[in-house]
Structure 1
Amino acid sequence: MPDQSRVAGGVLDGLMQPRPLTIAHVLERAERLFAHKDVVTAGGERLTYGEVAGQVRRLATALDALGVPAGARVATFASNNRRHLELYLGVPATKRVLHSINIRLSAEHLEYIVGHAEDDVVFVDRGLLPRIWPSAGRLPGVRHWVVLPDGTDTPIPADPRISDYDELIAAAEPFTGSFEDTFTLADENLASGLCYTSGTTGPPKGVLYSHRSTVLHCLGTLAAGLIGLCESDVVLPIVPMFHANAWGLPYGAVMAGASLVLPGASAEPAHLLRLMAAERVTVAGAVPTVWTSLAPQLRDHDLSATRFLLGGGSAVPPALSETYRAAIGVPITHSWGMTEVSPVGVIGGTRTQHRDATAAEQVAVRAAQGQPLPLVNVRIADVETGAELPRDGQAVGELQVAGPWVAGGYFKVGEAGSFTGDGWLRTGDLATIDADGYLRLVDRMKDLIKSGGEWISSVELEAAIASHPDVVEVAVVARPDPRWMERPVAYVALREGRATTADELLGHITPMVAKWWLPDEFVFMATLPKTGTGKLSKLALRDSARTA
């Protein structure tokens, strides 16, 4: 074969095959190599990857029959289940764009993002129909509604636009070609998925993932010493599949050939723990509020197969992580990310340099968000000047991030202020970075409390309060103050049957924080309000603090 390398200014091009990075490859790899591995959905359904791939092949021709064009947005309004996984794989493998919708959105936000995305078809769990069908008349762009059977008997409206997923799949002939071979060199940059941000500071913004970014993010989840997904794992994404692609866990598991366990619509602690024990789950991911709800029942279940628990979405209180380490020998590992980062950018945990550290020092390391994944770069910048700050573990600045699975813009929205002049994403998080590259979040810029001209970190104050054994949940927000401008108020949920007082909590945290950080008030609640992704809703609590 002749030498086809090009020489330009003495620089040689490589001679590697220009094979694109696509989700089609992830699908067909699982079909070829791991057809025997399990995909389990809560309720007893158990299929193999081979059977799931067969369903995807029928889905491909079913989408053709519905007239869904290449590049069209295909929305899902569904829980974590096998049919949703088929859409995860089949929609992008056929050059359409998977738009996973938060099932807890208000009607206003739901209608906004479906219209903004220009969704052509919506796949919806039968049990979730009542949440979205009332909006159907205000979504004229949606041509088809496909109902996913989920074991419920929710009534289905008589409407010619509605069809049944299983009937649609059964009637379709399977696609017999190679999904991967239909992609060309340029196609790895085609859009594969669309997720919208929460919209807490304005309308939700669409983050448009590419095949290339998704595959590279997959490889990041397989990196040894970080999450390290592998063929022998059994992976449970408790985090919803609509939440930034369930943090990449479904795609990563399929690529690795790990078995998948999907919890369905229930997030009840006993249900999740029984599933973890029965299926011998090794890796699971959830937001801190879920891990908090599971903690009281940990010792009632055999979780000896567990090797890695991932926490994200908000800071994991060190006390919560150490509760898991004491109960099952596995701490909750911090991560940091956001929808714009696909979403995982940083993974925590100790490294070899910490082997000889004291127990207290190791706890402090585990409390950090961690080090960036390969291919991801992070830096902190002065909020006022934009100048990069030193990595000394002391300087606090806005966290900025860059990498091949980091968004470079928003779908159909001009957001120049979200990016620096040299192309880094401005996250809105305040952080430090130490000499080992460990990222520690200080706070969201919007969550910092400025009292008497000095800053109070709500994250650090929450961690101190959460270390009290009677505290289940805590959120600290600012209350306007005529003298100090702002003062902290702590909203607290206690363990059932506990009657801890505000004075007792003050006594507990006084040695841990500066005196002027101490909250002016503790507000006790049975449970704290949550966002659609299960995070504590500081927006709702700020409104409460302002009107109190």
Structure 2
Amino acid sequence: MWKHGKSPMDPAEDTVLIFDVDLAELIAKLAPKLHTVKKYIVLTDRGCMHRASDRADKGAWISQEAAGLKGALCYEELLKRERPRLHSFQWVKVDENAACGLCYTSGTTGRPKGVLYSHRANFLHAFTVSMPDASAMTSATTVLAVVPAFHANCWGLLFSAPLVGAKLVMPGPLLDGASLYQLLEEERCTLSAAVPTVFMGLLQYLRDTKQRLTHLKTITIGGAACPALLIQAFQEEYGVEMRHMWGMTELCPIGTVAGFKGTLPPLSKEGKLALQLKQGRVTPFVDMRIVDDEGQELPRDGKAYGELQVRGPHVIQRYYRHDEDAVDSDKWFNTGDVATLDPYGHMQITDRSKDVIKSGGEWISSIELENIAVSHPKVIEAAVIGIPDKKWTERPLLVIVPKPGQPVSSDELLNFFQGKTARWWIPDNVVFVDELPHTATGKLSKLTLRKQFENYEPKKAKL
């Protein structure tokens, strides 16, 4: 993905690499390609760095010799060395617009690009994420931050949790249902954040073992549209509220949070769920609109859909080391998402502009089809991509990961769509796979899927 075989660290000119001990073997393999890195710091103590390498297969204790990183520094040792001087430490004063961090986009639809955050952007964003209508964090909150730190600063939790004095729990590499449940209970976590696939695994574990969640109250979910069954299950079976969040690396990253305004009319159970499935209302400081192909603003009626644009003090102005601006003359940033806005300001993503499927001159939302597919009791995960069609330009292809030991046929799955969406939206073909490709941040990689099935020969369309 990078020119001349360079790593993502080369454009950033990183000189120090800090990593957990379980990543030592991987870093050792990458080290020859990290041309700008001069120092390596392992997040462990000196004893662990010298444990016998014969336990390396367990991923917990790897010696620096086994990792091949001679001269790697030990984080705990460095920290201990500085403790006597803590009383004389002087905070460094910097301009609020100075650079504070660099994250790269996920690259789900194209090459990753660098987004340089300022201190001011992170500070303002931390306020919005911790507010009652967002994560509702206080000093009594304990946060299990499953979303990784490299995913846009853990969706801002790395700053918002310390801002209010909340306890921050980091799970490490074990993200299976059993491990997450143990952490949630032992650390008495009240809030957690992750992509939907993580909580699907937790839900399956809870159902299989008949366990209960005794402390968790709220889950914030993002990175992909959350299936209705996930929201319903956690809310009805475990009393946990799931809140959609939407954002991008370019937004620092949160831009909207789902919730119920006090001015809303009375809603039925179905109406409340429909609102929860939307990505929510804008957070403070963010402006939002949808526009047509000519850049004209579209009505907020919940029906019209167009390109989603945002602007604000923590929205990107220019990608790292790019000459051209990422925004137009009025500071609007085109997100690449296709969305609707309703009269109450609730936004709903219908698709990424590069993922939406054009069939017979009309648009088909891959997200809506995926949500229907994963509500089938024999499906773990689903993806929908457009494949070329001579008659209709494109037709949707359904790619399914079935549940182990629960065989399901193509006809059963396709019949499941009847009455849930327009007939012509229903895919003509189903492919079964053992797993779907994901990016490092846990997002479904449609880019990889389209490449994987670029030569797929579909059956005759039923339209």
Relative to the length of structure 1, the TM-score reads: 0.76
User: Is the counterpart of residue 413 in structure 1 residue 322 in structure 2?
Assistant: yes
Pair 1:510 & 2:453 matched: no
| Alignment correspondent of 2:283 | 373
Aligned partners of 1:400 and 1:162: how far apart in 2? 45
**In 2 relative to 1, CA 198–329 (structure 1 residues): closer, same or farther, beyond 3 Å?**
same
Q: 1:285 to 1:440 in 2, by over 3 A?
A: same
Query: Once the 2 structures are TM-superposed, how far is the Cα of residue 160 of structure 1 from its aligned partner?
Result: 5.7
State the match for 1:458 in structure 2: 366
Match of residue 387 from structure 1:
296
* Corresponding position: 1:362 with 2:257: no
Match runs of 1:229-240 below 5 Å = 229-240=137-148
> Could you say if the C-alpha distance between residues 159 and 447 of structure 1 is closer, same or farther in structure 2, counting changes exceeding 3 Å?
closer
Kept in 1: contact 2:7–2:34 (CA 8 A): no
2:61 to 153, 156, 164: 153
Q: Which residue of 2 aligns with 1:246?
A: 154
Say whether the 8 Å CA contact 1:478–1:545 is kept in structure 2. Answer: no
Structure 2 partner of 1:329: 239
Evaluate the alpha carbon distance shift between residue 425 and residue 154 of structure 1 in structure 2; reply closer, same or farther with a 3 A threshold. same
Structure 1 CA distance, aligned partners of 2:408 and 2:236?
A: 23
Alignment of structure 1 residues 36-115 onto 2, 5 Å: 111-115=6-10
Q: For residue 423 of structure 1, what is the aligned residue in structure 2?
A: 331
1:189/1:210 contact within 8 Å kept:
yes
Q: CA deviation at 1:367?
A: 0.7
- Structure 2 distance, partners of 1:225, 1:396, is 25
CA distance, structure 2, for counterparts of residue 162 and residue 232 of structure 1: 37
Matched, 1:498 2:403: no
Corresponding residue number in structure 2 for 1:486? 394
Q: What SS does structure 2 have at the residue aligned with 1:336?
A: strand
CA distance in 2, matches of 1:164, 1:110: 29
CA distance in 1, matches of 2:263, 2:381: 33
Answer yes or no: is 1:209 the counterpart of 2:117: yes
1:510 Cα offset (Å):
1.3
Q: Is the CA contact (8 Å cut-off) linking 1:277 and 1:301 kept in structure 2?
A: no
- Partners of 1:523 and 1:545 in 2: CA distance: 10
CA contact (8 A) 1:289 1:536 kept: no
* Residue 401 (1) aligns with residue 296 (2): no
Partner of 1:221: 129
Partner of 2:348: 440
Return the letter of the residue paired with 1:463. Answer: N
CA contact (8 A) 1:143 1:161 kept: no
Query: Counterpart amino acid of 2:175?
Result: A
Alignment pair present for 1:176 and 2:102: no
What residue is the counterpart of 1:122 in the other structure? Answer: 17
Greater shift, 142-151 or 312-321, is seen at 142-151
Segments of 5+ residues of structure 2 without an aligned counterpart are 49-59, 457-463
CA distance in 1, matches of 2:69, 2:225: 45
* TM-score, length basis structure 2: 0.90
Measured after TM superposition, the shift of residue 432 of structure 1 is 0.6
* 2:51 counterpart residue number: none
Q: Counterpart of 2:12 in structure 1: which amino acid?
A: A
1:298–1:327 contact (8 Å) kept in structure 2: no
Q: Residues 519 and 201 (structure 1 numbering): CA distance in 2 closer, same or farther, change over 3 Å?
A: closer
Shift of residue 489, structure 1, vs aligned partner: 0.5
8 Å CA contact retained: 2:15, 2:36: yes
Equivalent residue number for residue 55 of structure 2 = none
Q: Deviations over 1:17-36 (max 9, x none)?
A: xxxxxxxxxxxxxxxxxxxx
Q: Deviations over 1:422-471 (max 9, x none)?
A: 11111000001111000011100000111121111101111222222222
Could you tell me whether the CA contact under 8 Å between 2:21 and 2:62 is conserved in 1?
Answer: yes
Amino acid at match of 2:14: D
Distance in 1 (alpha carbons) for counterparts of 2:112 and 2:300: 33
Gap runs ≥5 in structure 1: 1-105
CA displacement 1:115-146 (0-9 Å, x = unmatched): 10011211122221222223323333222111
State the distance in 1 between where 2:4 and 2:374 align: 32
CA distance, structure 2, for counterparts of residue 203 and residue 245 of structure 1? 20
Residues 507/140 of structure 1: CA separation in 2 closer, same or farther (3 Å cut) = closer
Counterparts of 2:239 and 2:90 in 1: how far apart (Å)? 43
Indicate conservation of the 8 Å contact 1:111/1:135, yes or no. no
SS in 2 for 1:214: helix
| 1:449–1:457 contact (8 Å) kept in structure 2 | yes
* Superposition CA RMSD, Å: 2.1
1:314 maps to which residue?
224
Q: Is 1:131 aligned to 2:33, yes or no?
A: no
Name the aligned partner's letter for residue 332 of structure 1.
M
1:528–1:536 CA contact under 8 A, matched in 2: yes
Is the counterpart of residue 285 in structure 1 residue 193 in structure 2?
Answer: yes
Per-residue displacement from partner, 1:189-223 (whole Å, max 9, x unpaired)? 11111101123454321111111111111111121
Please tell me the residue identity of whatever aligns with 2:340.
T
Partner SS state of residue 8, structure 2: helix
Aligned length: 438
